[in-house]
Each structure stands twice: as structure tokens, then as C-alpha cells.
Amino acid sequence: MENIEIIYEDDDLLAVDKPAGIVVFPEGEYKEKTLIDYLIEEYPNLKKVGAPPRYGVVHRLDKDTSGILLIAKNDKSLEFLQKQFQERKVDKLYTALVVGNLENEQGTIETLIGRSPKDRKKQKVYSALEAKKGLRTAITKYQVLQKFKNYGLIEVEIKTGRKHQIRCHFNHLSHPIAGDKLYGFKNQPCPPSLKRQFLHAGHLKIKLLNDMMLTLNSELPKDLKKSLN
């Protein structure tokens, strides 16, 4: 399997360390091989889980975001795990590098998020006054880990799992994720070696079907470490 490391496995669950640059499951006209395609080659029974094209994928990560991703091996597990995501019972921590220095060492961003009318690929923050159908609450907490001249290294906890939530929220604060081509500003600084958005899902804690708590950690990948150096 193309550089896809399995970090945990039991009869009900697979946890993989997703590399950047690969789409989790195909949407629309997407023709390239996706993560779920590679996994089905090794685990053909995943085709019986959930519904295509996502099959047993419990949650998603963007193409250029790396880190921990859960795949259920049966329908019971899929339903059980997804319910925890829906009820906001899963601990998820990301490491991100943002452009500029945030005013506060820590904070919570709570807004409505929905598709941008100007660019269908993007999400947009809406105010309470703009509330309309299709908008959903998005809650992001952050803490500054380290400050650099043009950047801030932060730990991010998401309480809701909206599409592009972290990228959209930090763009809204005028501190977009370093290397983010979709949400970044024109001519924003970028570490020379960084070829993608600096966003990594490094920690996840969830309850298993047997009532045990599973804690998973994923180290910062080499390309992001190199950018920090």
C-alpha cells in the first residue's frame, strides 16, 4: 500500500496514518486512486461496510492534510464510531503553522460555516445575521505552542468536524494556514520547503465497541519538521 502506515488494527477498526497528497474517497468526477481504493485492495471486506464511495471511512481529512484517520471494518463499528463524532465525544488535536502571530495565546472560534457563493470549492464564515439554510455551527479551539518571526505554531482542537473548518477559521482571523493555496492570501509568506498546507492530525481519542478508550498519536511528518527547522 502506497506509504500508508497502519497505526492500529482490531476486528472492528483500522487506524491509518494518512500521508498528504492523497484523497480519502472519491467525490464527483475524481479519477485518481484514493486512500479507500488502496485499503480495499488489502481489505476487500471494506466494500461491504457503509455505502460507496466512502465505505467504512468514519471521518475525513483534506487531501493535503496528514495524520490519523479511522476506517470501520463493519457496519456496527461504523455507526458506533460516527455517533461519537456527531455527539462531539471524540478528542481530536491538530498541529498547524499559521501566517503571522495570533493576538491571544489561546482562544475559541465559534461561527456559522457554509459553502462560499463566490467559490464552490471553499467554505465561508457567516455571521448570525446571515443565518440561512445549510449553515452549520463550527467550533475551533487553539493554543499557541511557539512563535516565529512570520508564523505561529499552534495546537488546534476541533469540537465540530465541518469541511475545511480549521483552514476556513484561520483565514477568517487573517492568519491562514502556511502553504494553504486555497485559503491563503496573495503573496503571503511561506517556508521555502513547504509544498502543502501545514496541517497535521496528530492526536485522537475515541471509545471502542468493547468500552475501552483508544488513544492514538501520529508524529509530525518529515516535510513539516523540515519546514519548522
Which sequence positions are flagged as catalytic?
A: 62
Cβ-count burial of 36 within 10 angstroms (0-12 exposed, 13-18 middle, 19+ buried)? buried
Continuous segment of H or E residues that includes residue 38 = helix 35-42
Opening angle at CA 198, ends 102 and 73, nearest 5:
120
Opening angle at CA 73, ends 92 and 36, nearest 5:
75
The answer to whether 78 and 30 are in contact (CB under 8 A) is no
Q: What are phi and psi of 110, to 5 degrees?
A: -125, 115
Name the residue type at position 190.
C
Say how far apart CA 167 and CA 180 lie, in whole Å.
8
DSSP percent split of the chain into helix, strand, coil, nearest 5: 20, 35, 45
